[in-house]
A and B are shown apart, each in its own frame.
Chain A
Amino acid sequence: MSTLAPRAPVLAGLALALFAPPLGALDLDKLDLGKIGKGIEQLQFATGKVTRAKEIEIGEQLSAGLLGAAPLVDDAALQQYVNRVGRWLAEQTSRRKSKWPWRFGVLETDTVNAFAAPGGHVFITRGLFELLASEAELAGVLAHEIAHVLEKHHLDALQKSTRGKLLEDALASSTSRKNRAALRKLMGAGMQLYARGLERDDEYEADRVGVVIAARAGYDPYALLDVLVTLDSLDPADGNLALMFSTHPPSGERLARLDRAMEGKLDRYASQPQVAERFLRIRERILSD
């Protein structure tokens, strides 16, 4: 997996530190136990051993930040509907991950965008929700964000942008006060990450993983391409699109790549349901508010 690449040096370095020099040859005075301890923490992170509880804790902190920028749409039926669609999608990932407490939310803002946070947190803005035409399109968007969670794109990006420091603090702090302070700092870094965006390759990967999750859930996976067509057709000068356009590769490029990756492999699922009626009834609720 491509996400392993940046971790390799950490692994290699630790392997060297632990195994390469025969113990007798070590100058024990210079042996920095602290460094090795840090290396082990990094290794835990690098090998995906951030505990589930920690990952959820970090995700909750980032989610609280997003919700501070835009609260949930005050419509329980809408939120429950999106959670059910999302839960059904999450069940198609893996037995272990499907047991996570997946949480989905529609954010009250005209801005057109969607976000993910570690541990199973997924958000779509009302602005984007209103642009969609079917439940299959909603599923495409949610599945793209679920893919970011599965591939730990945000954890990796935070690890890189803070050189592992903030994540380490958040993971290692034992006392709850220290832990809270570390998580707060991590939230700041997370908000900067949302403003800056992930690596482009992460977005392409989430597209490829997302359409498979949607197909597994029984939806027409091509609905995500319909969403990209819609996004591509919007006026980029519209301020509500600025952040999404600046943090994602051009929709046309995403379309072309995704379509090539799907051709011959997902074509046979193109006739799966779009589920438009149920979706449009829900969408009417918020449009008529």
Chain B
Amino acid sequence: MPSGWAATPGFTTRSAELRADPSFAARVVRRLTPGTEAVLQAQRGGWREVVVEGARGWVRTYQVRAGRLPPDTVVTSSEQSRGVLADLATLSRSASGLFSRSRTTSRTTATVGIRGLSAGELEAAQADPAQLEKLKSHVASRDEGRRLAAEARLRARSVKYLGGGS
């Protein structure tokens, strides 16, 4: 879908290389730091066209988010800025209506009395056969899976596994 995208305000959620074309082989126009404001434009596969301070180019879709940069947010370019970026990502998602409530604030108060799953708790775990039976009772049939897919118009595709190496 090369065209027909409305320009949307957004910003980078991580450092990114702005490329002249939607390809890793394309020239790097500019290096962007996390939290850089950008106007999001066309999407092509895993690439998103953006305009940053007058420069036009392409970044990977996961490197940008739609929404406004929260005011007076201090963003540094280092990877240690994780905490700041945490707020960015959360805010951008809640702004787009994906988060119905802030996780980080409500969770900490709601955790009291609920078991965690730390390394120590895993190592101390005792088998729970009754829970295993419950797990088995919820199993879905192939038809139930297919029906769920059909309801959402999901269509099975033939896709090759990606080659090894990384």
- The interface of chain A, by Cβ under 8 A from chain B, is 1-2, 60-61, 63-72, 76, 79-81, 83-88, 90-92, 98, 101-105, 107-111, 113, 121, 125, 127, 130-131, 133, 135, 184, 187, 191-192, 194-196, 201, 204-205, 208-209, 211-212, 215-219, 222, 225-226, 228-230, 232-236, 238-240, 242-243, 246, 252, 255, 257, 259-273, 275-276, 278, 280, 283-284, 287
* In contact, A234 and B86 (Cβ under 8 angstroms): yes
Asked whether A64 and B156 contact (CB < 8 A) given A204-B166, A240-B111, the answer is: no
CA distance A17 to B107 in the complex (A): 59
In the A-B complex, list the 7 residue pairs whose CB atoms are closest, starting with the nearest: A267-B45, A233-B89, A218-B154, A87-B145, A67-B131, A195-B119, A88-B145
Cα(A91)–Cα(B46), bound, Å: 26
Q: Which residues of B contact A (CB under 8 A)?
A: 1, 13-14, 23-24, 43-47, 60-62, 79, 82-83, 85-86, 88-90, 93, 98-101, 103-104, 107, 110-111, 114-129, 131-132, 134-136, 138-142, 144-149, 151-164, 166
- Known A88-B145, A194-B122; judge A240-B140 contact (CB<8 A): no
Chain A residues positioned under 8 Å from B117 (CB to CB): 69-70, 107, 109, 111, 113, 125, 243
Q: Given A72-B131, A225-B62, A278-B152, check contact A201 B166 (CB 8 Å).
A: yes
Further 6 A-B residue pairs, CB within 8 A, beyond A109-B114, A209-B162, A243-B117 = A67-B131, A69-B115, A187-B127, A217-B154, A267-B44, A283-B100
